[in-house]
Copies of this chain bind each other. A is one copy, B any other.
């Protein structure tokens, strides 16, 4: 639904540009994409974009909460479509594959820290690290790159 995206942009006070629409489209096609991957997808889609345009769009869309940015350790930032629900991520240490996980405990559990030290908490970010189904067989055979050992 391309028209939909256009409306979404306008509703948030953003101008509608080919680049932004394409960025949005790219995120639908491939969730958990890096800025670079998005740039490539956009290029395939509309011919050419500057890196800056991609970063600008991603930044703007993130600010407006139309997309979400996650920044796992040791990897560039990833962007995803799915916003509004407080879901988390599992990342494979072997291949880097990232998947969504719903929150372990009921609804908005994750906003509860035992002792918040007086902070006013507005978000809980949870990243699970492990081995994905595809890599499990391999990691059984060889310890793999668990760390750069």
User: A residues within 8 Å of B by Cβ?
Assistant: 63, 69-71, 73-74, 77, 88, 90, 92-93, 99-105, 109-133, 136, 147, 149
Contact B130 A101 (CB under 8 A): no
Secondary structure class of chain A's binding surface, majority of residues: mixed
Q: What's the least CB distance linking A118 to chain B, in Å?
A: 4
- Note all chain B residues with C-beta closer than 8 A to A114: 101-105
- Note all chain B residues with C-beta closer than 8 A to A133: 117-119
Name A123's contact: one of B99, B116, B130 (CB within 8 Å).
Answer: B130
**Docked pose: A112 CA to B97 CA in angstroms:** 19
Residue in chain B with minimal CB distance to A111? B128
With A71-B73, A102-B114 as contacts: A128 and B132 at CB distance below 8 Å: no
Contact A132 B104 (CB under 8 A): no
Contact A90 B117 (CB under 8 A): yes
Q: What's the least CB distance linking A84 to chain B, in Å?
A: 17
Contact A109 B104 (CB under 8 A): yes
